[in-house]
Amino acid sequence: MQIKKRGDTIIEVMLAIAIFALLAVITINLMNNGINSAQRTLEFTMARNEIDNQAEAIRYIHQSYVAERQLDKSASQFRTLWDGLRSIAQKAKVLEEKDNNGVRPVFDINQLESCSDAYAENGMVRQYNAFVLNTRLVLPDSNTKFDGADYGAIIDDIIVGVEVKDDGASGSGDKVSRLTPATLYPRIVYKYNKNTEDDIGYGRAISNGTPSTEDQTNESSSLAETKIYNRVARSEGVFIIVVGDNEKNPVRSNYFDFYIRSCWHSVGSISPSTITTIVRLYNPEVIE
């Protein structure tokens, strides 16, 4: 008796391959979604940390100034910082200028199609005179000094605006932007070496426990010679806009709203990812 042997047909083979390919695609897609979700969670956490640091620094400056108001101006360490924050509201270009269409630039960050739009010439960063705080320099040294320099002399290194003077190796003195769109996630990048264009700092280092104002190289593995990165190189995707309730004379506003904002393009997302925190502080110069 002859037994006939029968193999799989081409249709059965193709069906098996199709089912395997479908399962493989679904599995890879689920894995990618999981990785993207974890990446977005990490990015939001990092962005929130930067925003919280800025919010706490603003509150600290305000509360410290209020506590020192009864002191003589020369003894008030935080007067210069608070006056600097207060005066930024007066400098906003949108108070006098409008774009070519006769309207103010977009203020709602959630309306942006791209984060780079906020940094354009007519975007909210430049038009509202945005800034960030160098939280590593907010706390003054004794006698309102920092490495021998008067505290008021380094105000531009604490309140870092859209444009600052380039003190780099080129020595051009041109103004360069320190507020830029995020390349990865919202963050503030610090620098040290004042002799290079992208790494500028006061040259403050610790050697044998003693602060030094001279530029030093970290040739030793000793922790006593670790460099201190204490100056903002750039703020990527993080900026602050301050708005007063008195449009005609913002510096005399009853209160100021500090909009601490972050914008970046997260993985697996078409629209920009944004976070905004608002800190409202009263103006002690007006409200006693």
Tell me, yes or no, whether 4 lies in a domain. no
Q: How many structural domains comprise the chain?
A: 1
pTM strictly above 0.75: no
DSSP letters spanning the chain: -PPPP----HHHHHHHHHHHHHHHHHHHHHHHHHHHHHHHHHHHHHHHHHHHHHHHHHHHHHHHHHHHTTS-GGG-TTHHHHHHHHHHHHH-GGGT---TTSSPPP--GGG-SSGGGGGSTTSHHHHTT-EEE-TTTSS--GGGEETTEEGGGGHHHHEEESEEE--STT----EEE-EE--SSSSEEEEE--TTBTTB-----EEETTEEE-S-----S--GGG-B---EEEEEESEEEEEEES-SSSGGG-SEEEEEEEEEE--TT-SSPEEEEEEEEEE-TTT--
Instruction: State residue 101's pLDDT score.
Output: 55
Q: What is the pLDDT along the chain (288 residues), one digit of tens a residue?
A: 566 666 667 888 888 899 999 999 988 888 887 887 888 889 999 999 999 999 999 999 999 888 888 777 666 778 888 888 888 887 766 544 555 555 566 788 888 889 999 998 888 898 888 999 998 888 765 455 555 556 656 777 888 887 655 555 444 455 668 899 998 889 999 887 554 344 333 444 433 344 444 444 434 444 444 567 788 888 999 999 998 888 778 878 899 999 999 999 988 778 899 999 999 999 888 766
Tell me, yes or no, whether 246 lies in a domain. yes
Instruction: State residue 199's pLDDT score.
Output: 38
Instruction: State residue 175's pLDDT score.
Output: 61
Tell me, yes or no, whether 267 lies in a domain. yes
Tell me, yes or no, whether 195 lies in a domain. no
Domain that holds residue 123: 10-185+233-282
Tell me, yes or no, whether 193 lies in a domain. no
Tell me, yes or no, whether 191 lies in a domain. no
Tell me, yes or no, whether 210 lies in a domain. no
